[in-house]
Structure 1
């Protein structure tokens, strides 16, 4: 009997060991992934190059024999994340097998705070994070960044902070020295600095959130739950709803998904919403998608059609569209359509998605480890290629502080409700361009200085954007357009007399006209204003062309 038991134990141990992925198998998986991407997904080499990708693969391939299993998984994740498309990723669960810290983090405009915790760690609730282990939070963010499939900085704020609560990522990225199920954080709360140790929990034990904590018997949030602001109402039971604010004659709508709710499809919801608008005294619409991470963009059309059919509502000052760091994927498509086809004024934070982007990922399963790497295969281009940007930026930018949040002060909605839209141009550069191409020079000369001084346009970097317009004319290479660029750059200099960028560009324009004396004078001025900066260095390079 003892011999039989020993044989059974040996067979069991052999089965366990055979299930583990050894170094050679990990290397085979890495080559499989590398070859598959080159063969079937080479089109995703947009934000990184094939050479950089291959270099990362070779480094990990050589390191695998000396790495722990979780370090290898994180290494694979880094490689896939280097494509910088949010849909192209190795799932978060792949790097959280040993559990996560029982906290929820949020990046407010005054720091990263513990917004929610398991009740056992109530002492840490509402604390600002200073260090993870011995690593300052700023350095920890820098180290974890490569693991996140970052579309833009907003994507990192929305979806990147969760990697800070994975000990496997923290160790693999050098934030903590040893992998452990216990991690100590240095915190600041009520003017006091202290340390607190957290023990990991299973990822499934953290309640589902839109980056905020849904209070349960086990979890608490720092927010005062006696009152619920509109953007968090029906947090756990409705994907979309609307509420009439009678005193402001405003309909507030929150749509937190582009998927259909099992209880009511989006088409049904839109129909019900527009019927309410048509039969009630609704003078203003505030449409909130700041917590909308996407879904099926084919569901967007009825909303756009309904808005365009109601010109009294779809006009500047009557329609506000709230976006934010969770606005992603199919909701970026919705934001694109709203921006292009309606008169909405966008309020809030930039989106987490590029305007044009790769989405709709396919799973590539690695043969030995069975890890799934999701690679995007569909290019969504709602805007012309030249108009692609890292994100949609609101015309009225508003961010939230920690105190705003815990006191349920929705500064974004308040801004939308009280914004003075008289004379406001939500798309200032489009407005300026239209004045220019229609020959309204006198009005242009009045409008640009006015807009530069108007605090409502603080979101627009007029210096940079106007220089871009001047460079478009300059790069045409034709005499009239070059003269036009000189007029544009000269106007910018009046607005920004210390703009090294503008002096450099104006110098390049005169160089194209063959006036090397004037060009040299302007380029030297740019260098003096920005000796060691990017513009100064670029001016030096142009000046060398003249001297040589």
Structure 2
């Protein structure tokens, strides 16, 4: 009987919002402590946000605390830290003194929608369902609402980890997806051609059912696919790395999912064995799969990079492929950078979850009253020049898996690498298009640019930004005719981009054609009336008129 009473009390603890654990003044003191600590010891984190924006958010949060419950304050700290947009810089929910609940669902964003790809067996019937709404709100609106809480390095990081926040009722309430803190959350789902609404009850957070974000076999959770017939990237998940020979393709496949030594064989020994196999067998391709690799110790990357450099047999364009994705992060981003710098790798899949250059290696900062742990990064990792920094590494060959492919254990990413043909493949799109410009092949350049922009293989290549950059480089060196050609081509390729029209306007202004400059600034305002590009266009028009 005592055990039953204890169990009932435990369930009640997770289902009923706790009373206020800390006073308003204690939370406000903690907030000031955090603000002071960041300014004093971590001012270098102000790269993607400004100290001014940070302080303004602090003041707004400080004033709101008296009207908040503890869980709302917890999420509020999450929002503040997420402003830095570095995945290593975060508030630890799992170590928080404020209890929170979790829906027993594993949620993943695919190319064809957001799906429940795993659930506790109590909700097994929901596995494989596409999420249409949460609490009568469209799923895209809900994802947008929780985004500010996630310490998202980029959109890929959010795709990888946003689902963990989506299943926390405290986050849903704090971000006003729900009007009150609720134990049961309503989902509108679609499965097998039918649409239905159901409620899912939250309970104690669970984490031991996952392995690299996948449902671990042998747990009381159900997954969306047959785990007895795994694709290569989901085989042997109990190992950090393994390799397999694919005789039909004369290829070696390697999955490497942490930058750490496997207990059974360290990294140098594993790659020594791998390269010996390549040397002694009929191998024409090497595929290194790091799409699940969230990092580790980047000092362990050397044997991988040097081994590939030394093996000309596979270190050739079209023979060495690296699969990257939304979980490629931290020390694995360093590996990707080094492979990009020093090898002939072709990257396949989705962009990485990490900036090319980034802040990592955090320190735990414990807030004095609540003891809430906040992790603040202190180490700047720069493998590439600052002008080559970007939100992520872009794959040369873009492949976004669908839920249909995932649930059928298909791997279109690996298939793309294995079936690669050099025919009509351009590894450096801007280098290729720039050469066409230099050769004076303007009509062909326009045709090729249009073709490549529409080709899904180049989906993640930011043609608009690259053309804009090229235009400004010519404009800065006085090549007005060339700059205007590039800016105009950008508006044809991206006619709904306010920024493209704003740049074209500036090109005409600096080349002396004020009539066209005004026309295109007004076009930019029309496309972005309330945004930063529209504001800039209005300032430029005002400056032009003042100058006249």
Aligning the two structures, in what range does the TM-score lie when normalised by the shorter sequence?
0.7 to 0.9
Q: Does 1:521 align with 2:516?
A: yes
**Separation of aligned partners in 1, 2:182 and 2:491:** 58
**Separation of aligned partners in 2, 1:507 and 1:184:** 49
Name the structure 2 match of 1:368.
369
Name the structure 1 match of 2:127.
125
SS of 2:200's partner is strand
Name the structure 2 match of 1:12.
none
Name the structure 2 match of 1:185.
187
1:37-56 matches, within 5 Å, as 37-56=38-57
Q: What TM-score do you get using the length of structure 2 for normalisation?
A: 0.87
CA contact (8 A) 1:503 1:523 kept: no
Name the structure 2 match of 1:86.
87
1:450-461 matches, within 5 Å, as 450=448, 452-454=450-452, 455=455, 456-457=457-458, 459-461=460-462
Name the structure 2 match of 1:172.
174
1:532 to 523, 527, 531: 527
SS of 2:91's partner is coil
C-alpha deviation, 1:510, in angstroms: 4.7
Greater mean alpha carbon deviation, residues 88-97 or residues 213-222: 88-97
**Separation of aligned partners in 1, 2:418 and 2:488:** 39
CA offsets 1:277-320 (integer angstroms, 9 cap, x no match): 11111101111111111111111122111111122311111111
CA offsets 1:191-237 (integer angstroms, 9 cap, x no match): 222222222232245512322222324111011223110010012x1
**Separation of aligned partners in 1, 2:403 and 2:488:** 44
What is the aligned-residue RMSD (CA, Å)?
2.9
Q: 1:88 to 1:283 in 2, by over 3 A?
A: same
C-alpha deviation, 1:56, in angstroms: 2.1
Name the structure 2 match of 1:110.
112
CA offsets 1:411-458 (integer angstroms, 9 cap, x no match): 11111111222352212224445x48xx95257875674464253545
Greater mean alpha carbon deviation, residues 279-288 or residues 417-426: 417-426
Return 5+ residue gaps in structure 2 as ranges: 1-17
SS of 2:248's partner is helix
CA offsets 1:93-146 (integer angstroms, 9 cap, x no match): 146833311110111111111101111111211111122233332222121111
CA offsets 1:455-513 (integer angstroms, 9 cap, x no match): 3545444454223112022124xx4x445534645776898899886665455345434
Q: 1:522 to 1:62 in 2, by over 3 A?
A: closer
CA contact (8 A) 1:317 1:422 kept: no
Q: 1:90 to 1:462 in 2, by over 3 A?
A: closer
Name the structure 1 match of 2:273.
272
Name the structure 2 match of 1:419.
420
Q: 1:340 to 1:22 in 2, by over 3 A?
A: same
**Separation of aligned partners in 1, 2:201 and 2:496:** 54
Name the structure 2 match of 1:210.
212
SS of 1:80's partner is helix
1:485 to 483, 486, 495: 483
Q: 1:31 to 1:286 in 2, by over 3 A?
A: same
**Separation of aligned partners in 1, 2:493 and 2:116:** 43
**Separation of aligned partners in 1, 2:56 and 2:538:** 33
Name the structure 2 match of 1:333.
334
CA contact (8 A) 1:348 1:397 kept: yes
**Separation of aligned partners in 2, 1:59 and 1:525:** 38
1:141-540 matches, within 5 Å, as 141-204=143-206, 206-235=208-237, 237-433=238-434, 435=435, 441-442=439-440, 449-450=447-448, 452-454=450-452, 455=455, 456-457=457-458, 459-476=460-477, 479=478, 481-482=479-480, 484-486=482-484, 488-489=486-487, 505-513=503-511, 515-516=512-513, 519-521=514-516, 523-524=518-519, 527=522, 531-533=526-528
CA contact (8 A) 1:53 1:79 kept: yes
**Separation of aligned partners in 2, 1:444 and 1:511:** 24
CA contact (8 A) 2:253 2:289 kept: yes
SS of 2:27's partner is helix
**Separation of aligned partners in 2, 1:501 and 1:330:** 34
Q: 1:533 to 1:136 in 2, by over 3 A?
A: closer
**Separation of aligned partners in 1, 2:484 and 2:313:** 42
